[in-house]
């Protein structure tokens, strides 16, 4: 049995963003030399998500609009009543919307098949990383981390 592990990262600049990780993942599968097995991609944050879908640029705009429409930025959220929380400073930016987007509209991790040394993807399938809580006014960008593990033979 063989195991392969890497850490990936990316930088986001907008509140809601979609990044295509497909080419990076395909390269890691090749580097792993694993012929048959399972790829597991896991974002390391609670206000992001991952999808397997088409990456057509206008569709990506629909994804971003779609998540923002389905979970309002402000929504009388318990988590955003910062004064009532014991775990954060008073200038903590609100981000409950991003946690709900991650939990309700996206996936916590993504498992894909490797067969014959190749990542198995349908013609239009792309691996899309979703940012739902991009930089607050205090910052200009956010660094996001994800990991990939491939096990197989």
Q: Classify residue 136 by burial, with Cβ atoms within 10 Å: 0-12, 13-18, 19+.
A: middle
What number of CA atoms fall less than 13 Å from residue 11's CA on the CB side? 4
In the complex with its own copies, which residue's Cβ is closer, 15 or 125? 125
8 makes contact with its own copies (CB under 8 A) = no
d(C-alpha 55, C-alpha 44), whole Å: 22
Chain positions 122 to 151 lying near its own copies, rule: CB under 8 A, are 122-125, 145, 147, 149, 151
* 115 within 8 A of 34, measured Cβ to Cβ: no
CB crowding 39-68: b at 16 or more within 10 Å, else e: bebebeeebbbbbbeebeeeebeebbeebe
Residue 54 as a binder of its own copies (CB under 8 A): the answer is: yes
Q: Does 111 bind its own copies (CB under 8 A)?
A: yes
Residues 13-52 that bind its own copies (CB under 8 A): 36-38, 40, 42-46, 51-52
* Residues 81-110: x where in contact with its own copies by CB under 8 A, - otherwise, as a string: x--xx-x--------x--xx-xxxxxxxxx
Q: Which parts of this chain interact with its own copies (CB under 8 A)?
A: 1, 3, 5, 36-38, 40, 42-46, 51-54, 56, 58-59, 61-63, 65-67, 70, 77-79, 81, 84-85, 87, 96, 99-100, 102-115, 120-125, 145, 147, 149, 151-153
């Amino acid at each position: 049995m063989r195991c392969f592990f890497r850490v990936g990262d990316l930088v986001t600049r907008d509140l809601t963003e979609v990044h295509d990780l497909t080419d990076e993942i395909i390269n890691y599968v090749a580097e792993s030399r694993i012929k048959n097995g399972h790829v597991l991609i896991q974002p390391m944050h609670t206000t992001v998500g991952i999808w397997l879908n088409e990456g057509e640029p206008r569709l990506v705009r629909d994804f971003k609009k779609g998540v923002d429409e389905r979970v309002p930025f402000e929504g009388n959220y318990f988590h955003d009543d910062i004064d009532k929380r014991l775990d954060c400073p008073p200038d903590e930016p609100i981000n409950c919307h991003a946690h709900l987007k991650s939990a309700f509209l996206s996936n916590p991790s993504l498992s894909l098949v490797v067969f014959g040394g190749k990542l198995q993807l349908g013609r239009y399938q792309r691996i899309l990383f979703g940012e739902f809580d991009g930089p607050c006014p205090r910052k200009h960008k956010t660094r996001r981390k994800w990991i990939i593990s491939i096990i197989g033979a």
